[in-house]
């Protein structure tokens, strides 16, 4: 796909994005505005549907939305508040560990570098890049399953895993699109470009898509 076509695809997504009733839109509307809230919300979102994450995050933050307040909650209480997010036992433990590290090492402030964020337990490149982009406005590409799948389906990249996709997109996309691409592709993937049998007949960029790996579509 030509670079000019990639630009056109992104502009089309931006035009249609407000009309998509994607679960990510609900999550984004309820996600906290502070770096700490966003960090915790992204941990809750791992391998969990956005609808569930949004409600769990809202319950948790109604009890504790600062480092000090979270430190006062015991793990059992955190588990109770975030259930039924996936792996809620592990996530509750991670939230406590991260809170303690922020207090002991970072003066209760979320660090703004990739290396520092990757040192936190349970934080991978996807979460770290999302925090850098959302909280600090830094140029970063957050690659989840939607971004990985759609980038390959469109032929933008030819990669086997999200990490490879991140580095391939860094080479492929102008920086002005880095911070937008996750939100756009996730909403697109949740509504039209489904993992199985995507809605190609309703897709506004079908004429640009070679449908790589698509065996069945609607």
- Which class is domain 24-136? mainly alpha
Which pLDDT belongs to residue 212?
96
What tens digit of pLDDT does each residue of 158-171 get? 999 999 999 999 99
Q: What is the mean pLDDT of residues 41-66?
A: 90
User: Of these residues, 50, 91, 126, 149, which one is catalytic?
Assistant: 126
Least-confidence region, from 16-25, 70-79, 200-209: 16-25
Q: Is 77 a catalytic residue?
A: no
Q: Is 144 a catalytic residue?
A: yes
Task: Please say whether the beta carbons of 53 and 41 come within 8 A.
Answer: yes
Q: Looking at the predicted structure, is the pLDDT value of residue 7 above 90? A: yes
What tens digit of pLDDT does each residue of 111-152 get? 999 999 999 999 999 999 999 998 898 999 999 999 999 999
Determine if residue 197 is left, alpha or beta; phi over 0 gives left, psi from -120 to 50 gives alpha, anything else beta.
left
What distance in Å separates the CA atoms of residue 125 and residue 137, rounded to the nearest whole number?
16
- For the chain, the domains span 3-20+141-208, 24-136
User: Of these residues, 49, 96, 138, 144, which one is catalytic?
Assistant: 144
Which pLDDT belongs to residue 72?
97
CATH of domain 3-20+141-208: 1.10.1670.10
């Amino acid at each position: 796909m030509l670079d000019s076509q990639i630009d056109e695809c992104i502009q089309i997504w931006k035009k249609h994005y407000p009309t998509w009733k994607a679960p990510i839109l609900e999550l984004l509307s309820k996600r906290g505005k502070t770096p700490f809230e966003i960090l915790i919300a992204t941990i809750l979102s791992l391998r969990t549907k956005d609808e569930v994450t949004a409600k769990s995050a809202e319950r948790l933050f109604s009890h504790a939305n600062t480092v000090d307040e979270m430190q006062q909650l015991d793990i059992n209480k955190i588990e109770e508040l975030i259930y039924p997010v996936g792996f809620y036992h592990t996530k509750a433990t991670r939230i406590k560990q991260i809170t303690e590290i922020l207090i002991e090492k970072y003066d209760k402030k979320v660090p703004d570098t990739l290396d520092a964020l990757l040192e936190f337990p349970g934080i991978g490149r996807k979460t770290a890049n999302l925090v850098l982009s959302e909280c600090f406005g830094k140029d970063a590409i957050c690659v989840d399953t939607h971004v990985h799948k759609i980038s390959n389906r469109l032929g933008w990249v030819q990669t086997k895993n999200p990490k490879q996709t991140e580095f391939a997109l860094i080479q492929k996309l102008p920086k002005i699109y880095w911070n937008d691409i996750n939100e756009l592709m996730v909403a697109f993937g949740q509504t039209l470009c489904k993992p199985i049998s995507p809605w190609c007949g309703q897709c506004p960029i079908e004429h640009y898509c070679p449908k790589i790996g698509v065996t069945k579509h609607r």
